[in-house]
Amino acid sequence: MGLIGFIVGSFIDNYQQVMARASREGGRRMSSEDLFNYYQQRTAVSDVATMLMALSAAVMKADGKVVKSELDYVKNFFARQFGPQFNREHLQTLKRFLDSGQIPLDQICSDIRMRMQPEVRVQLIHYLFGIAKADGHVSDTEINVIHDLSRKMGIPEVEFESVKNMFYRDTNSDYRVLGIEPDASDDEIKKAYRQMAIKFHPDKVAQMGEEYQQGAKEKFQKIQDSYEAIKKQRGFK
């Protein structure tokens, strides 16, 4: 199974090494430095699951409480993404990040920025907004956390705003999904749509797992929906 261009086949061996260390630590709360060392050990052989769990925990902790709907969203995503490789050990990794005093997001996001292509990083933001929306509402605190993660991962502001407005909508959201302002001309709107359609076509993430591909298709559909809504509002073809 391909996911984000990385090989995850050696997950089990790497996990056993880390859990042996965790056992020696006696379950104490890890410092930010210890947690990043743990992260580095888990991702030394490109363990994508640990990267995603770290980001997931940051969003789940954003508003000060972890709700069941968010946990279910993450569990369902991982079950579909990783299939039989997803098990309780992944959830123990998530719990470790949730229980930590402070997740070393600067270092983790820098690592992700080096490893992942821009299109993949944008899709991560789509996934994180999915967690935030799992309880039916995306709070300002959650938006701020995801925005901070987006900046740390080097995602352009216009692309963050595009994804945000797919989940957190107002009267100008269709324009922001296309990365433009409401006063844009019809020609500028058409150009923006073409650029977004090319940049975020699902084929761009064909190497990713099935669940990520589904997210890319949803994002692409929302781009098309926003364009159609603007066309209808303005009355052009």
Which pLDDT tens digit goes with each residue over 59-69? 999 988 888 99
Confidence of residue 211 (pLDDT cuts 50, 70, 90): low
The overall average pLDDT reported for the chain is 79
Asked if residue 29 has pLDDT above 70, the reply is no
Most confident listed range (1-5, 18-22, 93-97): 93-97
CB of 62 closer than 8 Å to CB of 145: yes
* CA gyration radius, the chain: 19
Predicted local distance difference test score (pLDDT) of residue 90: 82
Beta bridge partners of 6: 3
Mapped onto helix, strand or coil, the DSSP state of residue 6 is strand
Q: Cβ–Cβ contacts within 10 Å for residue 3, how many?
A: 22
Condensed to tens digits (0 to 9), the pLDDT of residues 91-122 reads 888 998 998 878 999 999 998 888 888 888 88
Question: pLDDT at position 14, please?
Answer: 38
- Residue 55 pLDDT > 80, yes or no? yes
45 CB-contact burial (10 Å; exposed 0-12 / middle 13-18 / buried 19+): middle
Owner of token pair 């990520």: 212
Give the 3-state DSSP-derived string for 24-73, with helices as H, strands as E and coil as C.
HHCCCCCCHHHHHHHHHHHHCCCCHHHHHHHHHHHHHCCCCCCCHHHHHH
Q: At which residue do the structure tokens 């996990």 appear? A: 15
The 10s digit of each residue's pLDDT in 192-205 is 999 888 887 877 76
